[in-house]
Amino acid sequence: MSTASFDFTGQRILVTGASSGIGWAVAYHLMGAGAQVYAMGRDAQALEKLAGQGCHIVRVDMADSAALTAQLALLPPLHGLVNCAGIALLEAADAVTAEGFDQVMAVNVRAAALVAAAVARGMITAGVAGSIVNVSSQASLVALDDHLAYCASKAAMDAMTRVQCGEWGKHGIRVNSVNPTVTLTPMAVQVWSKPAKRDPALAGIPLGRFAETDEVAGPILFLLSDAASMISGVALPIDGGYTSR
């Protein structure tokens, strides 16, 4: 993906979940477009690689709300946020556990809400009309077997996006979600490489393939940019048409 269409020079943008996958791609492309990127995640080695490319790194366990709150208090006022940190714990609907459900919700919903709240307060205080992008999933829009907690968490994220859009719009803050299909991070390549799992999923995607990380990063940069200055409160599928059926 070319970053030539975007200019984030002088803008400070926080990317959570930046140590891998979509978050890594977003951080990388934001740096290429001139942004000062604050990369938040758990993987120290991966974060150090981003630091070597110019990112400010914030190492924290997103599920630890006290540690997360403390780290957020140290950040300067921001112009943008990409809430990309997330986990998936696969359990069937009749096998869901309290521990698993709470674990998924703590990272995918609670942490995302706390981060967005802290960033929005900073924007409001500084008078910044910023942009927040919550990375949701097609799992919020359709039922996926063995994904009860994950589907619920992403549906909650989309609902959170609408509330944040409504409350913060008067301050000029835009809030949107993106809802990707399976995205070919290194872990996803392993998980979805077996034909028995891969082929039925691909059959449901009109474009006939999964997404690349850059194909998700591009729409995120668009929503962060002034090109999307009148877009707020949307949940944008990036799924090759999967949810159109």
Catalytic residue numbers read: 150
| CA 40 distance to own-chain centroid | 12
**How many other C-beta atoms can be found within 10 angstroms of the C-beta atom of residue 227?**
12
Distance CA 173, CA 120 (A): 8
Distance CA 105, CA 154 (A): 9
Q: Of the candidates 79, 81, 82, which has an alpha carbon nearest to the alpha carbon of residue 10?
A: 79
Q: Of the candidates 217, 199, 70, which has an alpha carbon nearest to the alpha carbon of residue 135?
A: 217
Distance CA 170, CA 168 (A): 5
> What residue type is 131 in one-letter code?
S
